[in-house]
Chains A and B, each alone.
Chain A
Amino acid sequence: MSEVKYSKEHEWIKLEGDVATIGITKHATEMLGDIVFAELPEKGSNVEKDGTAGVVESTKAASDVYTPVSGEVVDTNQEIVDDPSKINQDPENSAWFFKLKIKDKSEMDSLMNKDDYDKFAKENNT
């Protein structure tokens, strides 16, 4: 049983066991425009909830990618580094960013479910 949750910084997070897969939402990609560069955290590094864990750049500007939960980076998606346009094509599925072995599952509690996020994204359309 896995559930997808969402952050106010427009990341999605899917928890399976104690491994969380994290990426950016479709809404985020629509705001960014064409993504042409992606930088991911290093495998084996530790990231802290709400800390920077990567960068995406569109033709226009660079934006940080934050992690909505803390943990150890156990895998990263090299495919989106090699071809960042995949992030625009399939952001909430094959174009995931990194996987974390999470420290504290309760950090998931404060995140939004899909309905709440959709509403949030609609209200914060900038």
Chain B
Amino acid sequence: MEIKKTSLYQLHQDCNAKFVEFAGYQMPIQYSEGIVEEHKFTRNHSGIFDVSHMGQLFIYGGEELIQDLEKIFPLDLKNLKLNHSKYSFLMDKDAGIQDDLIITKIDEGFLIILNAACKDNDFKILKELLKEKYKMVLDESRSLIAIQGPKSSQILNDVVDGVKDLNFMSGNWFLFDNQKVYITRSGYTGEDGFEISILNNFADKLTRELIDKGSKLVGLGARDTLRLEAGLCLYGHDLDKDKTPVEANLNWAISKERISKGDFIGSDIIIKQLNNGVTKIRVGIKPEGRIIAREKTKIFNQSDVHIGEITSGTFGPSVNGPVAMGYVENEFSKKNTKVFLEVRGKKYAANICSLPFYKKSYVKGVN
């Protein structure tokens, strides 16, 4: 299969990107300044991320669509206000996570942002579940640009007037170069920021203007260190079909009202796990020294019994030390529990810790 390029490919090249293949796309892993600088620049100023490889699924419909989607997602969609967004997941009947996503109520229906590696399969699953009753477009004509970090609101507002008045997890249509762009105040770095859905032909121009205003392109490498410091999950690593939202410690994203009804896919298992507990659960893990415990690192308890595995681990530039997430047996999931990580044949001490590693600074209640 031919490797795809996003509409910012030329710009990435102009900015000396190093590319990697990711989910069938040629994507920038980093630029000339490197992951640590890009990470810190995002935390302190403003970073731009090309996330055009992600799926932008538009589903058109009204009341009936809301009812049908509530059979799929554990969300109170009836009460989701126009232009408001929720984090959710697509589960199978055993509550295994097939993808995690952001769903936004728009005028004509819903916009769902899907992971690049999952989007085609998600589309198939949703089409089947919705019995082809609704028009569904996995829109390849639009790019998705994220701008993240404390200076992003001012920078983006200079280019697209009015965005600074958006609240966290809400969006609206704005104009850029007389084109309609859909912008939400959201992101995946633990910083205040925005995601901009824009026609491919205008993505390059918008991004260059944001760079002119002082933002910088940031690659997938720093996106990973930023999201991990923020305690956010990466699908295919921290989440997959063998893990449920309860095991993933994402109960906050499941609507209590919907649990009481229990009429969505996977609800039997979710309710059972909420009532009876789970055997394994996602936790934050902080190694004591500088050792980096990466994905698949085995976790042991103090009696040298294997109790779990790391699902994401790296060096956190803002924490200035190693950070990790993983799944451990429930009885070892309490904060400050001492565990041992096996790296290159040796065991290193670490502690279970609460997430995030780095405190979020989302903007709530602008208005």
Contacts and interface: CB of A to CB of B under 8 A. Distances in A.
Interface residues of B, number: 19
Nearest to B314: A59
B36 A34 contact: yes
A37 B221 contact: no
Given A33-B35, A34-B35, A57 B315 contact: yes
B225 to A, nearest CB: 6
B292 A37 contact: yes
Interface string B307-321: 000000011010000
A119 interface: no
Nearest to A55: B344
A9 B151 CA distance: 42
A37 B315 contact: yes
B36 A60 contact: no
B292 A36 contact: yes
A43 to B, nearest CB: 17
Contacts of A59: 35-36, 39, 221-222, 225, 314-315, 317
Contact of A62 (B34, B36, B292): B292
Contacts of B35: 33-34, 58-60
A60 B292 contact: no
Contacts of B148: none
A62 B315 CA distance: 11
Contacts of A84: 290
B291 interface: yes
Contacts, number: 42
Interface string A58-102: 111110000000000000000001001100000000000000000
Nearest to B291: A37
Contacts of A36: 36, 290, 292, 315, 317
B30 interface: yes
Contact of A33 (B30, B291, B292, B322): B30
Nearest to A60: B221
B185 interface: no
B53 interface: no
A107 B290 CA distance: 34
Nearest to B33: A34
B29 interface: yes
Interface in B157-175: none
B294 interface: yes
Contacts of B317: 34, 36, 59
A51 to B, nearest CB: 14
Nearest to A82: B290
A62 B292 CA distance: 9
B292 to A, nearest CB: 5
A85 B317 CA distance: 11
A55 B291 CA distance: 11
Interface in B215-246: 221-222, 225
Contacts of B292: 36-37, 57, 62
Contacts of A61: 294
A34 B291 contact: no
A32 B35 CA distance: 11
Contacts of A58: 35
Interface in A30-60: 33-34, 36-37, 55, 57-60
Interface in B285-305: 290-292, 294
22 contacts: A33-B34, A33-B221, A34-B34, A34-B35, A36-B36, A36-B292, A36-B315, A37-B290, A37-B315, A57-B315, A58-B35, A59-B35, A59-B39, A59-B221, A59-B222, A59-B314, A59-B315, A59-B317, A60-B29, A60-B221, A62-B294, A85-B36
Q: Which 5 A-B pairs have the closest CB atoms?
A: A36-B315, A34-B36, A59-B35, A34-B34, A57-B292
Given A59-B317, A62-B294, A62-B344, 19 more contacts: A34-B34, A34-B37, A36-B290, A36-B292, A36-B315, A36-B317, A37-B290, A55-B344, A58-B35, A59-B35, A59-B36, A59-B39, A59-B222, A59-B225, A60-B29, A60-B221, A81-B290, A84-B290, A85-B36
